[in-house]
Amino acid sequence: MILLIDIGNSRTKYILANEISTGQAKAVDNNSIKVQWLDHHFKGIEKILIASVSADAIVNLISDWARINRIQFKQIESEKEAYGVISSYQQAKKLGIDRWLAMIGAARLYPNKNILIIDAGTATTIDLLAADGQHYGGWILPGIHLMFDSLVKHTSKIEPPQTLVASVAFGDDTNTNVNNACWAATIGAINLAITQASKQLATIEVILLTGGNAKSVEKLLKYPTRIEDNLIFYGLERYNLA
């Protein structure tokens, strides 16, 4: 069995390679990943492919565990060019591995298409990928929760909400004002990104959403979109198929 692991800043997601098209990735808090946890959850694994935007400590822990258990291990990093995708970054490794793998996955699922990729997670990232595989750059802005948390932290009389309701309506109390403005800022940025992308590539054939807020974003956009929950894992698995 081949295990795909995506380590984020606070949580790690993982899925078996043969379950990408039908399954949902599992998630665990980074602090929970210990040797005993690995022993319990990853028995029978033959190979691990890993991507990480977090500190090296968890990668090193899993790498050492894999070595002791004679499991193949490979960490994937951003490159200037791979599998038909060409990074716009002059220093390719500085492009976030999550964005890089999302583009690899997008090119794999929707070959020869002009694609706008929106990852609506902790941060909201937007990347433009041309049909010929050229990356035309993108934007990074705080995710919905980060926007709200920033105002809660730096202003008074705003209380953290139980849930962040996806709405761009004008609110009638301060918390609703802030909540809806965070969604409006995000949707406004995405709408502007679609306009900008169309200027650069004339026709955007696929608007692709991924990340924890993808479904909520989709409901607020007036453009046709496609959601790929396992987009990064499709990109990660591509390195196994090489």
Nearest to 236 by CA among 80, 58, 99: 99
- CA 59 – CA 65 distance, rounded (Å): 10
Backbone angles phi, psi at 144, to 5 degrees: -55, -50
Cα 29-34-40 angle, rounded to 5 deg? 95
Point out the catalytic residue in the list 6, 98, 119, 127. 98
Q: Are 239 and 76 in contact (CB under 8 A)?
A: yes
Q: What is the DSSP letter of 159?
A: P
Buried b (16+ CB within 10 A) or exposed e, 108-141: bbbeebbbbbbbbbbbbbbbbbbbebebbebbee
Task: Determine the Cα–Cα distance for residues 180 and 136; give it in Å rounded to an integer.
Answer: 30
CA distance 197 to 192: 8
How far apart (Å, rounded) are the C-alpha atoms in residues 184 and 220? 9
Catalytic: 29? no
Q: Give catalytic residue positions.
A: 98
